[in-house]
Amino acid sequence: MSLMWTSAAITDVGKVRTINEDACIAMPEKGVWVVADGMGGHEAGDVASQMIVQSMAGLTHTNRLNNRIDEIEDSLDDVNKHLIDIAAEKGESALVGSTIAALVAHKKYCVSIWAGDSRVYRLREGLLERITQDHSQVEEMVEMGELSAEEAEEHPDANIITRAVGVDDQLYLDLELQELVAGDRYMLCSDGLNKELTDQEIHGYLTVGNCAEACQSLVQETLSRGSRDNVSVVVIQFETNEQGR
């Protein structure tokens, strides 16, 4: 049985920074949701994240999941090449890049796509699970047993990522295919959220209200704690009724 869905998205500059280098988009009519967290400062990071979102907004309609994934990969490859060209024009040390976390839904399946440390979470039957694995220096240290997950969150190198759009000539994306279950709630976020909230706290706010209310609660709590970074959140609810899309 095909599932239906509703969704909401919010991005905020936060309480410290003056430029929002995050971008996000919810396209329930295409079954695509994206969060991008830009790097490189003013006229760089915001350009990178917006370019990713705009490329996703230009996706064509398709009735096959594998065709949609192929189209997204091709589009992000093009963005990757364009960002590298922009950085080359700015100078040898310039960086113009962005993380990406995306969710693509079709019938009863979804695919998480990511590069960098923006995340995809799933809330199913009261249990919160992080679907993505950060492409970051501290995550590699956790895998090698050198840090605990809790220590990684507060480590001074926590912001150093090992993969992103616009960083290397060859873009490598991770993909995770999952079967959807009615009642699933997925969340995409930039690291501006999980810098301020623990996974346990995210779980609590993600269970509140509809998608828009959950987004609002998560962002407002992040802002109330000082929001040292830009913050973006997308929430998607999957159901079998006719209220979603």
**Alpha carbons 185 and 129: distance in angstroms, whole number:** 11
What DSSP character marks residue 202? Answer: H
**245 residues of the chain, pLDDT tens digit each:** 679 999 999 999 999 999 999 999 999 999 999 999 999 876 789 999 999 999 999 998 788 999 999 999 999 999 999 999 999 998 877 889 999 999 999 999 999 999 999 999 999 999 999 999 999 877 777 777 777 776 667 766 667 899 999 999 999 999 999 999 999 999 999 999 999 999 999 999 999 999 999 999 999 999 999 999 999 999 999 998 554 44
pTM, whole model, 2 decimals? 0.92
- The label of the residue with tokens 């019938």 reads 107
Residues in the chain: 245
The per-residue b/e assignment along 210-224, b for 16 or more CB within 10 angstroms, e otherwise, is ebeebbbbbbebbbe
The residue among 99, 115, 98 whose CA lies nearest residue 40 is 98
Amino acid at 10: I
Q: Which residues contact 60 (CB under 8 A, 6 or more apart)?
A: 71
Given a contact cutoff of 8 angstroms between Cβ atoms, the answer to whether 186 and 236 are in contact is: yes
End-to-end CA distance of the chain: 14
